[in-house]
Amino acid sequence: MTASTTNHPTPEPSPAAPPPLPDPCPRPAAPLGAAGLACEITAELSSRLHTVRLHGFRRPTAPPPALVAVAHGSRHPGAAPAVRALLARVRALRPGLPVHLGHLELDEPPLHDTLAALRDAPTAPGSAVLVPLLFGHGHHVTRDLPAALAAAPHLNGRIATPLGPDALLVEALHDRLLEAGFPTSPHHGHRPAVVLAAAGSRAARSARDTARTARLLSARLGGVPVLPGYASAASPTVPEAVRALTDRGHPPRDIAVAACFAAPGRFADQCAALAPGPAAAPLGDHPALARLVLHRYDQALCARTGSATQDIGAATVAV
């Protein structure tokens, strides 16, 4: 006789938390071998991938020091627009760099106001490089700018070298001469020559800077004679330089005046009026001049104290 059996339904399992996902890299209790170690490293890297950008990762860097362009200043109505156009080109070449303007005299804003405002600047507070929009080591560069930084103790500042001499400056001077109609080569018996008109300074080093710029411009023009001529405080004057070239056999109509000025002003106008031949315009916002401003800024940041710089009080002056 067979014992009867009763069919009992199988009870439904009670709801439970879903089982944990399998560990893609089980961690044995025994010491890891090479394969296990590689698996550990892979798992760790995978867990951190979300923190890495697809196009690479850069550590955040400190904001760059402000570039303070230092213009001489002028009451000429064209001076301020020309300088501001130059600085607009500088900003376009290097977006994100704080660029400010200060004047030594005659115009707004004065340099001391610009430096005072950097105390609370949201970008790179307390750090600045002064780039003189001047073309030689005259007293403004060697005395006035260090004095301005010394009067701004809240700043850790550097002073860049002036804009001349430099190949980029020569490129701008060359282009402005061609724009004024200077011949690219002698023709029909003409003997072109150039007077490089500059503001002038009693500092001997400033005269050496201008003379070197004249030599570089002569080479850029294929050996055309270039003599410095000054508007004030130095010799020869522009008329004296013109006479010297005339005495060498250059017809006055073939003697041009190149304007080694960043912007229109009294000196630039006077020198242009004395030109017997073509008179080049001030350099203004020439692209090469804008690149030169940034080049001087970079040089000042890279210079090493004691080799390419001089310490003057709280300021470091690139030379």
Stretch among 48-62, 146-160, 175-189, 293-307 having the lowest mean pLDDT: 48-62
Q: What share of the chain in percent tops pLDDT 90?
A: 65
pLDDT at 183 (0 to 100):
85
Average pLDDT taken over every residue of the chain = 82
What does the alpha-carbon distance between residue 142 and residue 242 come to, in Å, rounded to a whole number?
30
Condensed to tens digits (0 to 9), the pLDDT of residues 32-49 reads: 555 555 555 545 554 454
| pLDDT over threshold 60, residue 308 | no
Q: What share of the chain in percent tops pLDDT 70?
A: 72
pLDDT at 178 (0 to 100):
97
What does the alpha-carbon distance between residue 224 and residue 246 come to, in Å, rounded to a whole number?
14
Q: Cα 51 from chain centroid? A: 35
Q: State mean pLDDT over 193-198.
A: 98
pLDDT at 244 (0 to 100):
98
Q: State mean pLDDT over 251-265.
A: 96
Task: Report the phi/psi class of residue 281: left, alpha or beta, with left for phi > 0 and alpha for psi in -120 to 50.
Answer: beta
pLDDT at 33 (0 to 100):
56
| pLDDT over threshold 60, residue 1 | no
- Is the pTM above the cut of 0.85? no
Query: What confidence category does residue 2 fall into, taking pLDDT thresholds of 50, 70 and 90?
Result: very low
Q: Within 10 Å of residue 31's Cβ, how many Cβ atoms?
A: 7
| pLDDT over threshold 90, residue 70 | yes
Query: What confidence category does residue 27 fall into, taking pLDDT thresholds of 50, 70 and 90?
Result: very low
pLDDT at 206 (0 to 100):
94
99-108, 182-191, 285-294: which has the highest mean pLDDT?
285-294
Q: State mean pLDDT over 18-31.
A: 47
End-to-end CA separation in angstroms for the chain: 119
Condensed to tens digits (0 to 9), the pLDDT of residues 210-251 reads: 999 999 999 999 999 999 999 998 999 999 999 999 999 999
More confident residue, 34 or 305: 34
pLDDT at 303 (0 to 100):
82
Condensed to tens digits (0 to 9), the pLDDT of residues 266-280 reads: 999 999 999 999 999
- Whether residue 164 contacts residue 205, with contact meaning beta carbons closer than 8 Å, is answered with no
pLDDT at 185 (0 to 100):
65
Q: State mean pLDDT over 75-97.
A: 96
pLDDT at 89 (0 to 100):
98
